[in-house]
Structure 1
Amino acid sequence: MSAPELTGSVAAVTGAGTGIGREISLRLAAEGADVVLTGRSTDAMEELAGRVRAGGRRALVVPLDLRDPDSITAAAKAADAEFGRVDVLVNNSGVGGPSAPLVEMPLDEWEDTFRVNVTGTMLACKAFLPGMIARGSGSVVVIGSVTGKRPLVNRTPYAASKTALIGLVRTLAWELGPSGVRVNLVSPGGVEGPRIDWVLEQQARARGITVEEARADFAGGSPLQRLVRPRDVAEAVAFLASPRAAAITGEDLNVSNGLVMY
């Protein structure tokens, strides 16, 4: 049997404590990577670190707030001090932003959505990329959303921020290509968990229907007629981080049960 494909590598995951970030961290560790777990929910990350270590991999828990540039820089330095390198950066952390018509949108909530989802992603790349560039290899995976490509009523800041990530990834792929560093985006559809539950509650209220009707309508819009599982997203990230994706950069991979096909 061949060795796991990420054996000997180090992966850093933002927003690692819960949801998709948790599944991604576990999947990368299963592929042989040591993992830098970053985010604000340190208790959840400590429990996760225990699971990673029980599987034979090393784990480092580092507090990180994408609204705080100093904490991002500190996280990158801590990862380098512990492991000497980071080969994979998964920009998973983000916020859902407010749910309201644009004309009623509070400016501070609009700006906070961009501050975390777009500027925070940029700052994480800026902090973790120099080592990859110096070594001439690495993989960056950004978690976007199909909402960056299709409407979601009353969610303009979230949709616009996720669309912005497409441009960030495509341009950064060109900038880093000569250095041997790949950059890709994963765009999930509605992922099972508390966040999609909140979204569906807001959609139901806006449309005057029940949450169950909103869920059925949302899931029924895809050929597979279900929500995305967190592990589906984790599998896509593990693939893009691995040598199997050596010729893939600047791509936007939909993991949406076919909800979006472009």
Structure 2
Amino acid sequence: MTIKTAIVTGAGTGVGKAIVKALLGQGFKVAMVGRRQEVLDAAAKELDATGSDTLVLPADIGDPAAVAGVFDQVKARWGRLDLLVNNAGIGAPAIPLEELSAEQWLGVVAANLNGAFFCTQQAFKIMKAQSPRGGRIINNGSISATTPRPHSAPYTATKHAITGLTKSTALDGRPFDIACGQIDIGNAATEMTRKMATGVLQANGSTAVEATMDAKHVGDAVAYMASLPLDANVLTMTVMATQMPFVGRG
């Protein structure tokens, strides 16, 4: 039986860690990629994922050479790649867009968009050449891929771009049995969303507490997408806290 292998970026915290847990539960061998070795090690220990089923690979995915090194290590260890989850992402300070520095803008673009593209490139190289051919790529779009929050231009712009990358990847991967889909997440309860318990800025200028959901539901959704045969694909899925202000006018 062919082993199933995956790479998850942003794997050390929050949604990424939940995705790793769900994939391990499905029998995947998972390479955990993130910026900080100590965070990845702590996550792997928490998930009891320190054996032969995991690789901990610290890397800056905004650096194409570092990305190539990650994929080379996965191929050397397991011989193939069945799934890439482009989950890593960062935001800029929630300030008026004219006050953002060039460095803040470029940092978000590097992590959220460039990194996803560089990882997708490397995944294509492996997935096209391996036998059995093909694989699956799942991008984390966030609900910001369709609807912005106030003062979120860098994050929202990159997440809108992820939707374009998803569709182009799905199209370009079609002849090679490479499926690509996108999961848009709303208010998973993580360190990043902790401030929602005390109130966040709304589009009408008010501040409101927002509902959240367990990040486990995101992991389970990604695991479902990953479980499909390559002749079926979830192109887009939105998983969100039911009571959050998103649908309609708030």
TM-score range normalised by the length of the shorter chain: 0.7 to 0.9
Does structure 1 residue 76 correspond to structure 2 residue 71? yes
**Residue matched to 2:179:** 182
Distance 2:224 2:230 in 1: 6
5+ residue gaps, structure 2, are none
Structure 1 residues 197-219: Cα deviation after superposition (integer angstroms, max 9, x where no partner): 3477783499886xxx622xx33
Q: Which moved more, 1:23-32 or 1:143-152?
A: 143-152
Does structure 1 residue 14 correspond to structure 2 residue 9? yes
Whether contact under 8 Å (2:136, 2:226) holds in the other structure is: yes
Distance 1:128 1:19 in 2: 24
Whether contact under 8 Å (2:6, 2:83) holds in the other structure is: yes
5+ residue gaps, structure 1, are 1-5, 220-226
Question: Displacement of 1:132 after TM fit?
Answer: 0.9
**Residue matched to 1:169:** 166
Whether contact under 8 Å (1:188, 1:228) holds in the other structure is: no
**Residue matched to 2:135:** 138
Question: Displacement of 1:150 after TM fit?
Answer: 1.2
Whether contact under 8 Å (2:94, 2:151) holds in the other structure is: yes
Q: Structure 1 residues 236, 34: closer, same or farther in 2, change over 3 A?
A: same
Whether contact under 8 Å (1:16, 1:22) holds in the other structure is: yes
Distance 1:246 1:257 in 2: 30
Task: Supply the RMSD in Å over aligned alpha carbons.
Answer: 2.6
**Residue matched to 2:217:** 232
Matched positions, count = 243
- Of Structure 1 and Structure 2, the greater strand share is in 2
Distance 2:199 2:165 in 1: 29
Does structure 1 residue 28 correspond to structure 2 residue 23? yes
**Residue matched to 1:253:** 237
The 5-angstrom pairing of residues 66-145 of structure 1 reads 66-135=61-130, 136-145=133-142
**Residue matched to 1:214:** 208
Whether contact under 8 Å (2:188, 2:241) holds in the other structure is: no
Distance 1:206 1:199 in 2: 15
Q: Which moved more, 1:251-260 or 1:141-150?
A: 251-260
Question: Displacement of 1:111 after TM fit?
Answer: 1.7
Distance 1:25 1:68 in 2: 23
Task: In structure 2, give the amino acid aligned to 1:240.
Answer: M
Structure 1 residues 48-103: Cα deviation after superposition (integer angstroms, max 9, x where no partner): 4343547x761111111122222111111111111111110011111022211122
**Residue matched to 1:241:** 226
What is the DSSP-based 3-state SS (H/G/I as helix, E as strand, rest coil) of the residue aligned with 1:93?
coil
TM-score of the pair, normalised by structure 1? 0.83
